[in-house]
Amino acid sequence: MARSISAAATTLSVALALVSVSGSRAVAQATGPSRAPRANAAESQARSQQPLSERLRRQIQQMRARPEGSRLPSPDSFTVGPRAITPATPTSGPVAIADGSLDVSGRLDGSAYVINGDIVVHSGGLISGDAVSIGGRVLLDGGRVEGERLTLSAPPTEAVRAREGAPPTTWQSIKLVLGWFAVLVIIGLGVLIFAEPNMDGVVEAMEGSFAKAFWVGVLGEIMALPALALLVVGLVLTLLGILLIPFAVVAYAIALAGLLSLGFLAVARLTGSFWSGHDAAATSTPRGANLRALLIGLVLYMGLWMLAAIFTWQPVTGAILRGIALAVSWVAVTVGLGAAMLSRAGTKRLGVRVGGATPARRPAPSDLAWQTPTPVTGVTAARRPAATAVKDAS
């Protein structure tokens, strides 16, 4: 009997304990939102004693230096960690918090500033000034903000800033050069297919007078903008031409870009022809020889940029190589532009080969051809002009 009474008492006490625990949980759940700020307040008391870290201090100073953060109080006014303003603890003056949220369920006479946290204004809560959150949100949960509600996304960290400001990596530079090479090859193929005679004309103009082409190119670069201005002024003076100005400007830009492109590709082809093997040139078609020369030329010019890209990791060497690549490319573009201008985009033949299209550099005859007395292309070897032989052999 006593045992059964004892067992019943134990069961009852366990049941009561369970009821008590669940009841206290229910109460806690029912009053959760209102009790949470109190818990936060207690926690914040402990955490607000933490000193402001150097990182936070610097962040606040940076924000204060900018117009959008100029109203922030000084770093010394900030406390670290969450804070709650309850109906029992009305607060006046600005409240500033870092690395924590502010729960307002009472009255705050003044403004609230939170960095890296939210401002939550619960039912019955009131902020008579502004509510400013940097790196968080201002949330109205039934409360009011009489001033401005301002949310500002967090400033980028120093690591992000450093990454944004950093120059491209070596691999990025290499990819950039490869991309440009691909673009140039594609455009070069287009020119070879659709405008090969024009390219021949530009190449011939370059062969005729390299120096002249260079200086004409320099002049063209200097005069490009003044010429455009003159064109526009001329159109304005004609009144009716005003309508044509937008078209004229676009047409001018396209024409200039076309001349530069054609010129540079011609330079690349000419350069490549000096490097291409005679045997291969002799055995291929003229267009094939031109394509080979063009590709070799582009590889040479872009190779300089590739070299500079490879040394991106080494600032001094990389800069020197970029300077060299820049200088060589500029000379190439300038000569090409000059030759394109002299030859009127390759339509006017100025070179040594007159009459008919001569699409490819003629491959040099083999040595045996000079030794045979048999006439070659109608001229006996003994009478073949020495200059031509030297030129072709080159």
Partner 1 sequence: MPGARLIPLVLSAAVAWPAAAAQSWRTVESARQLRDSAQHRVHVQYGAGRIDVGATNAPLLYSMTLRYDEATTTPIHRYDADARTLTLGVEDQSSHFRRNMGENSNGEMRLALSRSVPIDLQLELGATKAQLDLGGLSLLGLHLESGASETLLDFSTPNQTRMRALEIDVGAASLEVRNLGNANAASVHVKGGVGSVELDFAGVWSQDMTVDADLALGKLTLHVPRDVGVRVEVQKVLASFEQQGLQKRGDAYYSDNWDRAKYHLRLRAQTTFGGIELDRADD
Residues that bind partner 1 (CB under 8 A): 66-68, 144-153, 155-156, 161, 164-165, 167-168, 173, 176, 180, 183-184, 187-188, 240, 242-243, 256-265, 305, 308, 322-323, 325-326, 329-330, 333, 336-337
Q: Which residues are bridge partners to 42 per DSSP?
A: none
**Enclosing H/E stretch for 30:** helix 2-30
Closest approach, Cβ 354 to partner 1, in A, equals: 27
Judged by CB, which is closer to partner 1: 19, or 257? 257
Closest approach, Cβ 106 to partner 1, in A, equals: 18
Q: What are phi and psi of 140, to 5 degrees?
A: -100, 115
Which of 120, 157, 158, 156 lies closest to 136 in space, CA to CA? 120
Q: Which residues are bridge partners to 110 per DSSP?
A: none
Closest approach, Cβ 337 to partner 1, in A, equals: 7
Count Cβ atoms below 10 Å from residue 50 Cβ, excluding itself: 12
Strand-pair category, 78-80 with 107-109: unpaired
Judged by CB, which is closer to partner 1: 281, or 341? 341
Q: Which residues of 122-145 are buried (b: 16+ CB within 10 A; e: fewer)?
A: bebbbbebbbbbbbbebbbeebeb
Judged by CB, which is closer to partner 1: 48, or 329? 329
Closest approach, Cβ 52 to partner 1, in A, equals: 23
Which of 300, 377, 346 lies closest to 207 in space, CA to CA? 346
Q: Please report, as a single letter, which amino acid is at residue 156.
A: P
Q: Is 127 helix (H, G, I), strand (E, B) or coil?
A: strand
Judged by CB, which is closer to partner 1: 44, or 107? 107
Closest approach, Cβ 156 to partner 1, in A, equals: 5
Judged by CB, which is closer to partner 1: 215, or 330? 330
Closest approach, Cβ 372 to partner 1, in A, equals: 43
Judged by CB, which is closer to partner 1: 40, or 261? 261
How far apart (Å, rounded) are the C-alpha atoms in residues 33 and 21?
19
